[in-house]
Amino acid sequence: MTASRRCPLHPLPTAGAGLLLAVLLAARPASAGINLHNKCAFALGVYARSGSNPTYPYYLKPGAQQWLDFGPANLWPAGVIWASKSNNTNNGQATEIEFTIGGDMGNGLKQDFYDISLVNAYNHPVLVTPLNPPSVSGNWCGSPSCTISSLSGFCKLPNYLTGKDPACINKDGPGLVATTGTKAFKTACPKAYSYSKDDATSTFSCKWGTNYNVIFCP
Ligand SMILES: *[C@@H]1O[C@H](CO)[C@@H](O)[C@H](O)[C@H]1NC(C)=O
């Protein structure tokens, strides 16, 4: 089960319609996507959802990969990905990887945005890395990662362990200000969101049309 399977997140039009779209919308970059890669020593339920669309579950054995295709429109707004070794579909108890593919820049241009969010919780280590970046400079096409080596060592009051995975809940993460608890998450993972307004050091952007790797247990 290590072979990569293509699995569209949006229903794909027929080949003929796809070709017509490609001709009409030649200015759009070729369809891109995200490669999910489970490098953990254990199997993971990996979940992906865009906006209010349904959550797509993928069961990835150790070493397995899954290709998520953004489809011919190459859009994936308000996308979120998370993983759980106990198949916990509650993204409030997981490290979240957030993507907006083809975000509108307001001037007819589009751009991708991505980040790792510990605003709700941390459960598994993750690395996000662009596969074909046009250039890399700081948070432009950069590769955020977050690894906390000892959950039980790190996760003390005011943060706490819960659930089967387990996960360290970031109690103050959804708040508007940094607290002692959120600062502990920030120190552990400086390139990840530690609370909801932690934008400056946590938001990454890259050219529309870029492909990405999301690696669990990198
Ligand atoms: C998670 O789901 C997969 C696929 O349905 C299943 O094979 C596996 O046993 C489940 N794992 C747990 C811990 O429930």
Protein residue whose Cα sits closest to atom 7 of ligand 1? 59
Instruction: Determine the distance separating the centroid of ligand 1 and the alpha carbon of 89, expressed in angstroms.
Output: 12
For the chain, domains (ranges, CATH) are 46-55+73-216 (2.60.110.10)
Q: Residue 149: which region, alpha, beta or left (left: phi > 0; alpha: psi -120 to 50)? A: alpha
Q: Which amino acid would we find at residue 100?
A: T
In 3D space, the residue among 192, 199, 205 whose CA is nearest the CA of residue 113 turns out to be 205
Give, for all 218 residues of the chain, the pLDDT tens digit: 333 333 434 333 333 444 444 444 445 556 799 999 999 999 999 999 999 999 999 999 999 999 999 999 999 999 999 999 999 999 999 999 999 999 999 998 999 999 999 999 999 999 999 998 989 999 999 999 999 999 999 999 888 999 889 999 999 999 999 999 999 999 999 999 999 999 999 999 999 999 999 999 99
Residues whose beta carbon lies within 6 Å of some atom of ligand 1: 45, 59, 86-87
Query: What radius of gyration do the chain's Cα atoms show?
Result: 17
